[in-house]
Amino acid sequence: MEPIRQHHDAFRVAGITVRTTNRDESLPATARIGALWGRFFGEQTYASTPHRTADTRIFGVYSAYESDANGAFDLSAGVAVSEGEGSIAIEAGDYLVFNGQGEMPHMVIATWQRIWQYFEAHPDVARSYRSDFEAYEGPDKVAIYIGVA
């Protein structure tokens, strides 16, 4: 299934963050993303974050890219907020939206594999590497927004 190109307005997300790389995430000994999400839900960060907006989705925000898909990046698990010190800004701009549905975490991994395959097959489509995000509408449904130039 081809992604949908969509313009998205800027918004902010607050939560907890780790710095990692795709290489680190491929090795169980250095992977950090699973623990991030475990902490987010275990500590009920979504319930205790101040300045929440009416948007009830849970977000995974990729930001502070060192370079490209091979460099380090921040991943924040959080909720949409109207303001807040330490919140992350998701830039306004054009995004390619990839949808996934199924059992966690397999469906997110499969959706990211589709994303990487898409960009390998379409070298003319340039990622911006400023802010990308996962928007979870439930435990088995995600829309992944990849910023493009």
| DSSP string for residues in 110-137 | HHHHHHHHHHHH-TTS-B--S-EEEEEE
Q: Examine the pLDDT at 52 and tell me if it is beyond 80.
A: yes
Looking at residue 1, its pLDDT comes to: 75
Q: What is the rounded average pLDDT of the residues 66-90?
A: 94
Per-residue confidence (pLDDT) for residue 71, from 0 to 100: 96
Q: What residue ranges do the domains of the chain occupy?
A: 4-147
CA-wise closest residue to 137 among 38, 60, 31, 33:
60
And the tokens for 87?
């919140």
- Three-state secondary-structure class, residue 49: coil
Q: What pLDDT is attached to residue 72?
A: 98
Residue 149: pLDDT over 80:
yes
CATH architecture of 4-147: Alpha-Beta Barrel (3.20)
**Average pLDDT value for residue range 25-49:** 95
